[in-house]
Amino acid sequence: MINVVYSSEHWIMPTIVIGILVILLAAIIITEGLARKKKGEAFFKKAGKFFIDKADFVKLFGTLVLFIAYIALVDVIGFTVTSIVFVFLFNLLYTGFSKKAVIMSVVISVVASLTISVLFGIVFNITLPSGMLSLTFTDLGITFY
């Protein structure tokens, strides 16, 4: 029997689900602990390594930091310019600074960003993040994001 009261109705399901999650969590800890005990290990195992061996932390956290900066700036500066800069930076991060790699990175970032910007923003008329470097041509009715 559950008392359905209009004012607190929105908490019925979340409460039940949280209850189920707590029970499941307890079940996971107990069953896995007992399984370890059976094998002669401690009930609680030491936290395993989170990252893989030889993890590439520069690329991993570089991706995260670039991603955050990209999102933070894209609607301040405008889609096209921000994308050119960040697709270039992601490319550098993943492929390095050799002359050939850098040239390739420039080409990819400029071509890909312009293509997406024109195709989605102008041809398909999909809203893209706009900022101070976005241009609107009112008489043509188009925006270059």
Query: Can you read off the two tokens belonging to residue 96?
Result: 């390095």
Least spacing, CB of residue 108 vs another protein, in Å: 6
Binding region for another protein (CB under 8 A)? 1-4, 6-14, 17-18, 20-21, 24-25, 27-28, 31, 35, 39, 50-52, 54-57, 59-60, 62-64, 67-68, 70-71, 74-75, 79, 83, 86-87, 90-91, 94-95, 104, 108-109, 112-113, 116, 120, 123-129
Least separation in angstroms between CB 29 and another protein: 10
Measuring CA to CA, how many Å separate 79 from each of 89, 94, 103, 106?
A: 15, 22, 22, 17
CB nearer to another protein: pick between 2 and 140: 2
Taking CA 62 as the corner, what is the angle to CA 61 and CA 68, rounded to the nearest 5 degrees?
Answer: 90
Min separation Cβ 122 and another protein, Å: 11
Nearer to another protein, 96 or 135 (CB): 96
Token pair belonging to 38: 């059976």
Closest CA to 92 of 109, 114, 110: 109
Looking at the Cβ atoms of 79 and 144, the one nearer to another protein is 79
Smallest distance, Å, CB 144 to another protein? 15
User: CA 123, 126, 127 angle in degrees (round to 5)?
Assistant: 130
Alpha helices in the chain (DSSP H): 12-38, 57-77, 79-95, 99-116
